Chain A
Amino acid sequence: MHKHLSSRSALLDENAALHAQLDEAAETLRAIRSGEVDALVVQSSRGPQIYTLQGQDAETNRFRGEMLAQVSDAIIAVDGDERITYLNAAAERLYGFDGPRALGRTLTTIFKSRWLHPQDEAAARTALQERGEWRGENVHVRHDGHELNVESSITVLRGIDGLPTGQLAVIRDVTERKQNEDRVLVSEIRYRRLFEAAHDGVLVLDAGTHRIIDANPFMTQMLGYPRDQLIGKELFEIGLLRDDAASQEMFRNLERAEQVRYESLPLESPGGRHQTVEVVANLYEENGRPVIQCNIRDITERRRSEEHVKLLMAEVNHRAKNLLAVVQAVAYQTAKHGDPATFADRLSERIGGLAAGQDLLVKSEWKGVEVCELVEAQLAHFKELIGRRVVLDGPPAQLTPQAAQGIGMALHELATNAVKYGALSNGEGRVRIVWKIIADSTPAFSISWLEDGGPKVAAPGRKGFGQIVIGRMAEAAVQGVAAITYGESGLSWNLSAPLEDTLTVIQVAA
């Protein structure tokens, strides 16, 4: 019982002593942590042992710790099993893992490596084995999936015995730099392609020396010089500006306005080719050095087509006014020789005839008109009679615009007359329109309007405008001779003229 009692109190005492020791140890640990302790005396079986905490070593350790916390590169140490034994503040930030959570875990917990080239991984392994260090770039994929472009320097750590104990990695995040490099590279490829493939000439000049420092392929093509012959030359030396004075003026203007534009400059290439170019020069800075970029566009074709359009417009104007003059003359003549009661109708018919001829000329681009088409156009009002009471007979022949106008007007008058008084005024009369090419010493063209089966006709007492049109005017249009006979069964008209004054292509009948 006593023994029991004494042992119980002894246990309580021992318990209290252990509590006190534990409290003391906890206090010591707190003091060590907060840096209040300089040295530690530990009772051991070999007597008291003094451990100095402050002094050279502690100072060095703390300094190292602070330094590693301050550096912006991530620093990670691993043991032989790739378990993390140390990581600095930058590493914690970079991988989003705080120290206590990471320590003791394998490296792959915080990131996995992805290699830029398949062979890089083996190369790194070899370098570490053979030289004990590796430096290079790869991608670290963080535990959250975020990818980092990193530049790492890995060193093998060794113990006193020289055997590897782990690795120390210094890792720099180059993601942003890499992205910038990629952007610059893409941009360089894109703009290089524009420069190389442009269908405008591009020259880059040094603003100080006024000499060419770069030229794109199209420029060399335009000028006919190889690129290396352009480099180092001034603009007036390649025929772009008249002389040195013109060149000086351009550079003065550029300094003032930063852009100079020449709407139209003559450009003579060494091969003697004349071109007209438009030049736009801009002053830029390239890394602090002023350069001038000249864009040179070949506008020779554009100028030519502008000139052509101008010429066409003048031609259209001339023809339109000529036609108005003819209409005016026809109006005078219709009024002078005709019945005032039918003036408006007669004039409208004649203008209609002129318009039909005009259509044919435009259709053939003013080159000429097929006789057959001209006859059909002038007889459009009696289309249903063609092939029945009106017969066309002749070879293909293209009349000149002048001949087409004169003969067209004559056919119009003949048709109007036939319907009113001639072979087409009754139910059975017929008209044959015959044309032929007469191969003779002086080849001629002949066209006849032959009426048959109509009422008897006589020459009109007073010469109306119709008579003038089929007579003198038709003759004048083709430098020919017109013959009119008024017969028992209708009128006959023939116009004969030199071939060269009537047809566009001289054709000789077989």
Chain B
Amino acid sequence: MSPPTTSRDNQKKASILIVEDEATLAFCLEEALIDAGFEVAGVAGRLETALAMIHNGVFDAAILDANLAGVSAGPAASAMAARGLPFIVVSGYLPEQQQTAFTGALCLQKPCRPDRVIRALRSILPAQ
């Protein structure tokens, strides 16, 4: 996992936290984000890691997988909301199976093309 980087230095690259337990998907997302001109603030595969990064990290938005190794990512969503940071949720669950912590968030269904994730991220980030 890469260390959280300080965003908004001189370049205007938005920094994104990836919360995804599936290494393949996390890697793919990371590549897609970098290719699209984002910075990756870090990758968390477990809820505890994700919560620690949300509390201490410096980033602009997050991509949350709804389920982290069998544990709901709901607390991560609440922590993001508490910090006032935007996030999108990527999930294998049907919308009606979704936990309430994700209510109101922009949700994408797995499998999802990387460019869709990028477009969704841009839609929740403040215009620069």
Chain A residues within 8 Å of B, Cβ to Cβ: 314, 317-322, 324-330, 332-333, 336, 400-402, 405-406, 409, 468-469, 472-477, 479
Binds A, one of B9-17, B19-27, B54-62, B79-87: B19-27
Question: Which of A329, A401, A472 lies in contact with B25, CB distance below 8 A?
Answer: A329
A321 contacts across to B, CB distance below 8 A: 92, 109-111
Q: Is B4 an interface residue (CB 8 A)?
A: no
In the complex, what distance in Å separates the CA atom of A89 from the CA atom of B33? 113
A476 contacts across to B, CB distance below 8 A: 1, 23, 26-27, 43, 45
Docked-complex contact A324 and B1, CB < 8 angstroms: no
In the complex, what distance in Å separates the CA atom of A472 from the CA atom of B22? 12
Docked-complex contact B111 and A327, CB < 8 angstroms: yes
Chain B residues within 8 Å of A, Cβ to Cβ: 1, 21-28, 31, 43, 45-46, 66-67, 69, 91-94, 97, 109-114
Docked-complex contact B93 and A317, CB < 8 angstroms: yes
In the complex, what distance in Å separates the CA atom of A476 from the CA atom of B69? 13
A472 contacts across to B, CB distance below 8 A: 23, 27
Nearest B residue (CB) for A477:
B23
A327 contacts across to B, CB distance below 8 A: 111
Docked-complex contact B23 and A473, CB < 8 angstroms: yes
Mind listing 8 A-B residue pairs with CB under 8 Å?
Answer: A317-B94, A321-B92, A322-B110, A324-B110, A330-B24, A406-B23, A477-B45, A479-B46
Question: Which of A319, A400, A401, A409 lies in contact with B24, CB distance below 8 A?
Answer: A409
B20–chain A nearest beta-carbon distance, Å? 9
Docked-complex contact A473 and B24, CB < 8 angstroms: yes
Contacts A314-B93, A319-B92, A476-B1 known; list 17 others, CB within 8 Å: A317-B92, A317-B94, A318-B66, A321-B92, A322-B25, A324-B111, A325-B111, A328-B113, A402-B21, A402-B45, A405-B22, A406-B23, A472-B27, A475-B23, A476-B27, A477-B23, A479-B45
Docked-complex contact B45 and A322, CB < 8 angstroms: no
Known: A324-B110, A402-B45. A314 touches B24 (CB 8 A): no
* Main DSSP-derived SS at the A contact region: helix
Nearest B residue (CB) for A472:
B27
Nearest A residue (CB) for B94:
A317
Docked-complex contact B24 and A326, CB < 8 angstroms: yes
In the complex, what distance in Å separates the CA atom of A431 from the CA atom of B63? 40
B94 contacts across to A, CB distance below 8 A: 314, 317
B46 contacts across to A, CB distance below 8 A: 479
Docked-complex contact B22 and A325, CB < 8 angstroms: yes
Docked-complex contact B92 and A325, CB < 8 angstroms: yes
In the complex, what distance in Å separates the CA atom of A317 from the CA atom of B111? 11
- Nearest first, the 6 closest Cβ-Cβ pairs linking A and B are A321-B92, A318-B92, A329-B28, A476-B23, A325-B111, A325-B110
A336 contacts across to B, CB distance below 8 A: 31
B21 contacts across to A, CB distance below 8 A: 402
In the complex, what distance in Å separates the CA atom of A277 from the CA atom of B21? 41
In the complex, what distance in Å separates the CA atom of A430 from the CA atom of B56? 48
Docked-complex contact B25 and A325, CB < 8 angstroms: yes
B66 contacts across to A, CB distance below 8 A: 318
Question: Which of B26, B91, B113 lies in contact with A318, CB distance below 8 A?
Answer: B91
A309–chain B nearest beta-carbon distance, Å? 13
A325 contacts across to B, CB distance below 8 A: 22, 25, 92, 110-112
A201–chain B nearest beta-carbon distance, Å? 34
B86–chain A nearest beta-carbon distance, Å? 22
Task: Identify which of B23, B93, B109, B114 gathers the most chain A CB atoms within 10 Å of its CB.
Answer: B23
B112 contacts across to A, CB distance below 8 A: 325
In the complex, what distance in Å separates the CA atom of A405 from the CA atom of B26? 14
A406 contacts across to B, CB distance below 8 A: 23
Docked-complex contact B97 and A314, CB < 8 angstroms: yes
